[in-house]
Each structure stands twice: as C-alpha cells, then as structure tokens.
C-alpha cells in the first residue's frame, strides 16, 4: 500500500492493535477484534487512496497471528510535514461518543508523522518486514505511484492499552494532510472483546 496510507492505517489501527505508549504503561490484556471493515472517506479528488485491505482471521486474536494484504496509490509525492488527524468513537448506549486523546491514544492529532516514523524506525536502519522484503520505503518522502503489499503474516504480541479501551464497538477515522490540504481519508469500524 502507499506508505503514507500505511501511516494512516498504523495510526488508526494502533488505537487497538499497536501500543505506542510513549513511556506510559498500562495493564496488558488479550482481546479479539471482529467485524473489521474499512472505506475511503475522502473527497473524490484526494490524491492518496487505499484500494484494498484484507485482514484475517476474523476475529483477530491478540496476541496471535494476523494475515494482511493491501494496495493503494498516491498521485503526489508525500513529504514532510505530513499530519494525521485521528477521530475515535465508541458506541455507548446506542450513541457514538468521541473518545478524547489520552497519552497519544484516542482522538489525537499527529502533526508530524514523518518524525514519528523516524522515532519508530531510526533513519539508516532497515525497514521492518515485510516492507524490507518488498523494497518499500518507510520514511518520508514517499514517491507518487502504486504500491502493493502481498499477503503477509504478522504476529500481534500482547499490547498495553488503557482500561477504557476495551469491550465495545468502535469507529476510527484517519485524515492524512499536508500544508492544510487533505490528501486521503480512511474510516475503519470494528468491535473489541477483551478478556479483562
């Protein structure tokens, strides 16, 4: 997939399956994520779109194995500063409630995802698998083009998340932008059942 859309997907999915704690600690737990679906939510002329995204099994078990494939395209080079605005909502008593940003989890604005990528993967270090195997970059800038991640296997380890991000139905929207212009938008829905 385009690596910028990978950034959107990372920022969106990290609300449930990634633990970017930035020094914070929470109680680890195991969970099942089910009913996963996605859609592009941007304007018709947005330059970056996700074309396909497939995750299996359903439900996704954490910790556990995940198989994923994706493809996407961008018609413009994606260079710093790139921002991602994430809105996380949880269904409570039939109403969708916006979850605030707490310790970098929730409805958060990530103003410089290029810098975030440099924190996660220091420049000069090989890109993580499977990006390395398929010759995909993991740092800004990302050239215009079509990108494909073939079916790949991942292991999802125990994760650390706040106690309030547990059982329930969720909607997450990530908007990729630069210089005040929207470049792409991705919306994901899913449900979580935790064992705590």
- Comparison of pLDDT for 165 and 173, the residue scoring more: 173
Residue 84: strand pairing partners? 110, 176
Written out in words, the top-level CATH class of the domain with range 3-194 is: mainly beta
Span 21-48, average pLDDT = 75
HEC assignment per residue over 109-149: EECCHHHHHHHHCCCCCCCCCCCCCCCCCCCCCECCEEEEE
Per residue in 136-151, pLDDT tens? 788 888 899 888 888 9
The Cα–Cα gap between 68 and 9 comes to: 12
Residues 6+ apart with CB under 8 A from 32: 59, 60, 61, 62, 192, 193, 194
Task: With cut-offs at 50, 70 and 90, classify the pLDDT of residue 163.
Answer: low
Tell me which DSSP letter residue 5 carries. H
pLDDT of residue 56: 93
Q: Where in the chain are the domains?
A: 3-194
pLDDT reading at 166 higher than 50: yes
Per residue in 50-78, pLDDT tens? 899 999 999 988 888 989 888 888 999 98
């Amino acid at each position: 997939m385009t690596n910028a859309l990978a950034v959107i997907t990372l920022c969106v999915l990290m609300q449930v399956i990634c633990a970017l704690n930035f020094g914070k600690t929470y109680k680890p737990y195991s969970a099942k994520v089910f009913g996963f679906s996605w859609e592009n939510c941007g304007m018709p002329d947005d330059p970056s779109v996700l074309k396909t995204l497939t995750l299996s099994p359903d439900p996704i078990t954490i910790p556990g194995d995940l198989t994923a494939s994706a493809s996407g395209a961008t018609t413009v080079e994606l260079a710093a500063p790139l921002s991602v605005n994430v809105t996380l909502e949880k269904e409570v008593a039939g109403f969708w409630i916006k979850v605030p940003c707490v310790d970098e989890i929730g409805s958060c604005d990530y103003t410089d995802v290029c810098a975030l990528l440099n924190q996660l993967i220091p420049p000069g270090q090989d890109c993580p698998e499977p990006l390395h195997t398929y010759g995909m970059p993991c740092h800004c800038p990302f050239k215009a083009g079509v990108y494909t991640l073939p079916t790949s296997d991942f292991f999802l380890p125990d994760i650390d998340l706040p106690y309030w991000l547990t059982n329930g139905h969720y909607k997450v929207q990530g908007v990729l932008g630069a210089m005040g212009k929207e470049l792409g938008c991705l919306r994901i829905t899913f449900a979580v059942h935790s064992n705590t």
